[in-house]
Amino acid sequence: MINPHYAKIPPSYLFSEVAQRVRAFAEKNPQTHLLRLGIGDVTRPLTSSVISALQQAVEEQSHAEEFRGYGPEQGYEFLREAIAEKEYRALGVNITADEIFVSDGSKSDCANIAELFDTSVTVAVSDPVYPVYVDSNAMAGRLGDFVDGAWNRLTYLVCDESNGYTPQPPSERVDLVYLCSPNNPTGAVMTHQDLQKWVEWATENKSIILFDVAYRAFIQDPELPRSIYEILGAEKVAIEFGSFSKTAGFTGLRASWTVVPKALEADGASLNAMWMRRQATKFNGTAYIVQKAAAAVYTEEGMRETGENIALYMRNAQLLRTTLNEIGITAVGGENSPYVWFKCPQNRSSWEMFDLLLNTAHIVGTPGEGFGPAGKGHFRLSAFGNPEDTKLAASRLKEMEF
């Protein structure tokens, strides 16, 4: 009676497993101040533009004339227009408001989007990568069996030093490919040339790219692409997921968007129309007050405040990266992304490294193997901690003997 594929997946989701181990440590060591550089959860509070917009929207709800009940499933037009303008037209990309679907998080959209495709489709992911792409397809039965730490129907696009942590198009045809740039967990960012190769490959193979740009606001280099639609023809082969979570501190508030271009078709069907149909059936929209708060991120003041928070996180990222490099551990990421990624010294496993850092330096990080087989022996530190904790973590790392 139950979905048999659940029995095949590892029993707990990566970040739940980390949280459980940290809770156990904290219970045994209640006086210890933990330096939390594990899950990419923000620590800066919401900006005043966002708070004012929330307060105003809440106030509106107490007046019959302004009260809102069900909203449009696709999201309010004021927010979709603002996203089209600030996230796309500002890049010279013509994405229109009717191609944007506001949601309550990229996690759910990245996981749910595969419902538009048959359960027999083939899937590829870069490895290592955000585990939601893999786990959600495994739950739907698309990935076969989990044998020796890998799914036997999933194509893993290994990203390591040899390819600059950049996924390369596979030689075989695959129906769906999940790409994430800036990448979670390695922090690598794909260039225009990299994306061009992928768009050409997808066009030739009639494949669809599922492109996650949750960390695009952290790109510092003006030459790097922020959206796959900066590549001509991508609107015919790609769906893109963007998020307010890390950009504007909405991990608790929940707001994101998904772009399904009208030019995108599979087997002659419009994926935009299918996603609209899916959302209308299964989703009643993101709360009005949250959408008002998200729109406030795009005001002049909102952009300035958000920029300050991103700059603060990027200073943390730089400190973590340079500290690791100073102590002889080659770290990547952290330049255009809030994650720093490194190979564990002394060939330690990533869970051994997790325990070592937790027990001796009270630093919580994320074991690389939770992000896929190529993450084995690697480790991720997040720059979303507060600056004091990050500085403390950096000085403890310097004192450690690896």
Stretch that binds ligand MLT, among 36-44, 117-125, 220-228, 299-307 (CB under 6 A): 36-44
In sequence order, which ranges of 251-386 are alpha helices (DSSP H)?
271-282, 288-296, 300-326, 350-356
Residues 116-135 close enough to bind ligand MLT by CB under 6 A: 130
Closer of 261 and 385 to ligand MLT (Cβ): 385
Closer of 49 and 256 to ligand MLT (Cβ): 256
The least CB distance from residue 251 to ligand MLT, in Å, is 7
The least CB distance from residue 234 to ligand MLT, in Å, is 23
Closer of 37 and 209 to ligand MLT (Cβ): 37
For 18, 141, 278, 340, the CA distances from 249, given in Å and listed in that order, are 21, 34, 28, 19
By the 10 Å C-beta count (0-12 exposed, 13-18 middle, 19+ buried), 222 is classed as: exposed
User: From the list 183, 184, 247, 306, which residue makes contact with ligand MLT (rule: CB under 6 A)?
Assistant: 184
Closer of 131 and 169 to ligand MLT (Cβ): 131
Rounded to whole angstroms, the Cα distance separating 106 from 258 reads 8
Tell me 117's DSSP state: S
Q: Select from 218, 283, 275, 226 the least CA-distant residue to 254.
A: 283
**Count of alpha carbons within 13 angstroms of residue 394, beta-carbon side:** 22
Q: Select from 302, 241, 250, 303 the least CA-distant residue to 101.
A: 241
Q: In this structure, what are the phi and psi dihedrals at residue 226, rounded to the nearest 5 degrees?
A: -100, -15
Closer of 76 and 250 to ligand MLT (Cβ): 250
The least CB distance from residue 256 to ligand MLT, in Å, is 10
Residue nearest to ligand MLT (CB): 40
Stretch that binds ligand MLT, among 38-46, 156-164, 256-264, 290-298 (CB under 6 A): 38-46
Closer of 117 and 371 to ligand MLT (Cβ): 371
User: From the list 37, 39, 113, 143, which residue makes contact with ligand MLT (rule: CB under 6 A)?
Assistant: 39
The least CB distance from residue 240 to ligand MLT, in Å, is 16
Tell me 268's DSSP state: T
User: From the list 107, 226, 292, 378, which residue makes contact with ligand MLT (rule: CB under 6 A)?
Assistant: 107
338 contacts ligand MLT (rule: CB under 6 A): no
Q: Do residues 211 and 230 lie in contact, with contact meaning Cβ atoms separated by under 8 Å?
A: no
Rounded to whole angstroms, the Cα distance separating 186 from 332 reads 7
Query: Which position has the token pair 């330690």?
Result: 348
Which residues lie near ligand MLT (CB under 6 A)? 39-41, 107, 130, 184
